[in-house]
Amino acid sequence: MQREKTIESRELDGLGEVVIPEDPADPTVVGEISNRRVVAVGGVLLSICAGFVAYGFLGDDEPERRSVPTASVTYRITGTGTADVSYLAKDAGGSATVETGVELPWHKTVRVPLGKDPAVSIQLGEQGGEASCALAIRGEHQRRATAFGAFGRATCTGDLPAERD
C-alpha cells in the first residue's frame, strides 16, 4: 500500500528540523510560496523606485560647474531722451542684454566673465540727439564714444584679460 504524504505528515531532515513536503497540487502551499516571492520582489522594486525618486529630488541634474572668475564693469550713458542699450553681463550667459527705450542718463554695474570683452552700445531713436557711452573696468575708465543725430550709434568696448590681474 502506497502511503500519501499530507501537510500533517512531517519528516525530519538531516539536521533534525521538520520538513513539510510541498505538494504542487495543494494550492495553499504553492500559493504561500508564490505570495512570499511576489511580496519580496515587489518590495525590492519599490525600494529601487523610491531611490530613483529621491535621487531626482535631491540629485543634481547638471554636472558640477566651476565658478567662472569675473570682473566688475560699469556701463554709463549720458544724454537726454531715450535710447536702445545693449551690454554684456555674466547673468546673461556672456551674451548681450538689450534694453529698449531706456531713459537717459543710465548706468549699470555688472559682472563680466574674464576673457570676455565687455561692451555697451547705444542707438538713438528717430528724433536723434546726442548721447555718450562710457565703460569702466574695476573702477578704471576705459573708453568713451558719442552718438549724434537720428538713429545715431556709439559703442564702447574694453579689454578684460582671461586671467586675474
Domain boundaries of the chain, sorted by first residue: 11-58, 70-157
Cell of 9: 505528515
70-157 is classed in which CATH architecture? Sandwich (2.60)
Average pLDDT, the chain: 78
pLDDT digits (tens, 9 = 90+) for 116-150: 889 999 999 988 889 999 999 988 898 899 999 99
Residue at grid coordinates 519599490: 46
- Backbone φ and ψ for 47, nearest 5 degrees, come out as -65, -40
pLDDT digits (tens, 9 = 90+) for 1-45: 555 544 444 555 555 555 555 665 655 554 455 677 777 778 888
Extended beta strands in 104-162, E state? 106-113, 119-124, 130-137, 140-148, 153-157
Q: Between these two residues, 130 and 96, which has the higher pLDDT value?
A: 130
pTM of the model: 0.57
User: What distance lies between CA 15 and its chain's CA centroid?
Assistant: 61
Class of residue 157 by CB neighbours under 10 A (exposed 0-12, middle 13-18, buried 19+)? middle
Whether the CA torsion 90, 93, 98, 102 is positive or negative: it is negative
pLDDT digits (tens, 9 = 90+) for 98-107: 999 999 999 9
